[in-house]
Structure 1
């Protein structure tokens, strides 16, 4: 049985889970040794394995390093059902801030950046993304996720930013991805899409 080794030490959340998921898909009948150095990442990867019918065969700790050995038991049953094109088209990501949650602003910004960058690694992609209020900053010059959003747009994701919000912040000329939209279109989207995700 072939064994794949992936080094996830030092990677920010959710990259250890994303890399492990990709390894599972590439080796559905093999073994995967995941190298970690964070207990939260260890718990997240273990939950991923359990949800996909992969057994945790061995856990070895060497200092701060954690070696997690996974083996496929019945991957076909554990594999989530692929989303259809219709389901993908029914997903709207609705962002009303350039950060997630309340509390520390810097942490909130990092969480939003992680959320948007993770969309590329966790298909299916949403059909549309709408940015309101301070979230319009994410689609403008200097945004930490501008390149990611541009790549999402190239993959077919529709990206819209509130025109009133861009004007309010003086950012209309700095919009670098997607198009400006209005409240009528925002309300129409919220009523039309079957699934709305608000980070």
Structure 2
């Protein structure tokens, strides 16, 4: 059975959410076909398929038209915690997520705010127990890019095993996607998921 989704014009994370709902209603061998109009949606759908151990293929039909094909390969009753670690994640006391949405810390003087943010990220590297994840979105996306004063400290966290995730929509909005220098690109679905699963959220 085929399920068709028209995700053209839909912003992140709607294409992923629609595809996930369709996959949840599928049986093994069913196909979900999604039409999208941007590469970010295509990449996010690829990540969704990988997380669900589904077959994935994409085709560029035109300048702003893509067709994504996801084939469900597992029956729902066979889904286990090992197969779906994202959906079956059980928070622990150590699952701390740091959420940064600006280049500055606090409100007021911008120069002071940037100094404070640099100090905050450095202080993270000195904690006896490091966070599991650092989420960067909106203005915070600049911090993980080339030229950021906090870049070396974020790289240190990355080397220590901290997951550094930067919003792809935000990087694209500011025109700095190619300047990302640490961690990986994420989407709004994963940003929400990480915060929902966190045992503690820290916001500077």
- The normalised TM-score by structure 2 is 0.54
Aligned residues between the structures: 113
Residue deviations 1:63-110, cap 9 Å, x none?
Answer: xxxxxxxxxxxxxxxxxxxxxxx433x100000111111110000100
Cross-structure match for 1:146: 151
Corresponding position: 1:196 with 2:192: no
After the TM superposition, which residues 50-199 of structure 1 pair with which residues of structure 2 at under 5 Å, given as runs? 86-88=92-94, 90-199=95-204
Q: CA deviation at 1:190?
A: 1.0
Rounded Cα–Cα distance in structure 2 between residues aligned with 1:197 and 1:120: 14
Rounded Cα–Cα distance in structure 2 between residues aligned with 1:128 and 1:109: 21
Rounded Cα–Cα distance in structure 1 between residues aligned with 2:134 and 2:169: 17
Q: Which runs of 5+ in 2 are unaligned?
A: 1-91
After the TM superposition, which residues 36-47 of structure 1 pair with which residues of structure 2 at under 5 Å, given as runs? none
Query: RMSD of aligned C-alpha atoms?
Result: 0.8
Rounded Cα–Cα distance in structure 2 between residues aligned with 1:183 and 1:99: 22
Q: Which runs of 5+ in 1 are unaligned?
A: 1-85
SS of the counterpart of 2:102? coil
Q: CA deviation at 1:137?
A: 0.5
Q: CA deviation at 1:143?
A: 0.5
Q: CA deviation at 1:119?
A: 1.0
Rounded Cα–Cα distance in structure 2 between residues aligned with 1:131 and 1:193: 15
Residue deviations 1:138-172, cap 9 Å, x none?
Answer: 00000101111111101000000000000000000
